Amino acid sequence: MRAALNHLKKSDPVLAAIIARTGPCKISYREPTFEALVRAITFQQLNGRAALTIYNRLVEAAGGTVTPESIQNTSVGEMRRAGLSKQKIAYIRDLAEHAASGELDFAALPNLSDDEVIAALTQVKGVGEWTAQMFLMFALRRPNILPTGDFGVRTAIRKAYKKRYKTKDGLPSPAHMKKLAKAWHPYCSFASWYLWRSLESTPEI
C-alpha cells in the first residue's frame, strides 16, 4: 500500500493533493465468492442504503446464506418480494446456474489474469465490464484496474484536472483516461479509489 501511494504522489501532483486531503487508503475488500457477485448485481444502479436493504432481504429469503443452491431454492416470488427487479432476478438466477453447473468456477478466478476474469464473469447475464472490474478491485484485490466506464471516476477526473473534454457528456473518454492513467500504473485501482473519495462516492460491492 505504501509503495502504491508513494508512486501516485510522485507521479501525479493532482492526485497527490487528493491523497493529502483524503488521508490513508481504506479500501473495503470482500472475498471473491458467488455471494460477492450477487451483492454487486443487487447494488447496480441503486444507492447504498436502498441496495443494502434489498440485499439483506434476499439473504433472509435464501435462508441466511447466499449460495448457488440457496438461490435456486428461492422462488422468483420471494426474490421479488425482497425488492429485486425482474431483470436482477434473472441475472442472479443465471449466475446461480453458471456457478452450480461449474461453468463459472469462483475458486479458479484468483489464478486468472484480469482479462480472463472479465471474460469469465461477463458470460453471465447482467454482469458487464464495470461489474467485473468492481469484482477485480474489491474482491480479487487487483491493484491496476482502471474502470473507464465509471461515471464517478470520469466525473472526478473532470473536476480534479479542470479540463474540458469534447465528448457528448463533457466527461473524459476511455482514451483520455488511459492516457492520464499511464502515470498511475501499476496502481490504477488505488488512484480510482482516491478519485471516488474525492466525490465521496466509492461504489459498493
* Residue ranges covered by each domain of the chain: 2-25+145-198, 34-138
Grid cell in block for residue 100: 452450480
Of 7, 53, 66, nearest to 190 by C-alpha is: 7
In CATH, which of 1.10.10.10, 2.60.40.10, 1.10.1670.40, 3.70.10.10 is domain 2-25+145-198?
Answer: 1.10.1670.40
pLDDT confidence of residue 127:
94
Q: What is the pLDDT of residue 52?
A: 93
The pLDDT value recorded for residue 165 is 86
pLDDT, position 49: 86
Query: % helix / strand / coil in the chain, to the nearest 5?
Result: 60, 0, 40
Say if CB 18 and CB 130 are below 8 A apart: no
Superfamily designation of domain 34-138: Hypothetical protein; domain 2 (1.10.340.30)
Residue ranges of the chain whose pLDDT lies below 50:
none
Nearest to 180 by CA among 20, 13, 2: 13
Q: How confident is the model over 13-25, as pLDDT tens digits?
A: 999 999 999 999 9
pTM (predicted TM-score): 0.90
| Total length of the chain | 205
CA atoms of 188 and 185, how far apart (whole Å): 6
**pLDDT tens digit sequence for 111-124:** 999 999 999 999 99
